Amino acid sequence: MSSTPVTRRQLLRAGAAGAALITIPARPAFALSRPVLTHGIQSGDVGARGGFVWARADRPSRMMVEVARTPRFRHSKVVQGPALTAGSDYTGKILLDHLPPGVET
């Protein structure tokens, strides 16, 4: 099996694709539905070692982004972001920094 390096852009795209929103603890644990991303996942300001991921939900929630160096998300890591509240129009962003450039594990 050959190994090809993953670029920072591919890593951020894969991380954005794996982003998940989890409800704020104040919401009942037995809730049957999860927040919906109303505008998809956005990424940008990509630099040599990282970039931002933005999201907007349809209700109060906590932004969580799962990042990995490979598309299969082996050895992935979850980064906890801000609470998405009415005060922020249910939007939030996370800076993913200190990412190794062009490395695949």
pLDDT tens per residue across span 57-102: 999 999 999 888 888 888 899 999 999 999 999 999 999 888 777 6
Domain membership of residue 57 (yes or no) is yes
Amino acid at 52: F
Domain membership of residue 89 (yes or no) is yes
The larger pLDDT score, comparing residue 5 to residue 2, is at 5
- pLDDT tens by residue, 3-35: 556 676 666 666 555 554 444 445 555 556 788
Distance CA 103, CA 53 (A): 20
- Predicted local confidence at residue 103, as pLDDT: 60
Domain membership of residue 92 (yes or no) is yes
Q: Does residue 2 carry a pLDDT above 80?
A: no
Helix (H, G, I), strand (E, B) or coil at 17: helix
Domain membership of residue 20 (yes or no) is yes
Tally of structural domains, the chain: 1
User: Nearest CA to 13 among 71, 60, 57?
Assistant: 71
Torsions phi, psi for 12 (to 5 deg): -65, -40
Task: With cut-offs at 50, 70 and 90, classify the pLDDT of residue 56.
Answer: very high
Domain extent at residue 20: 8-29+36-96
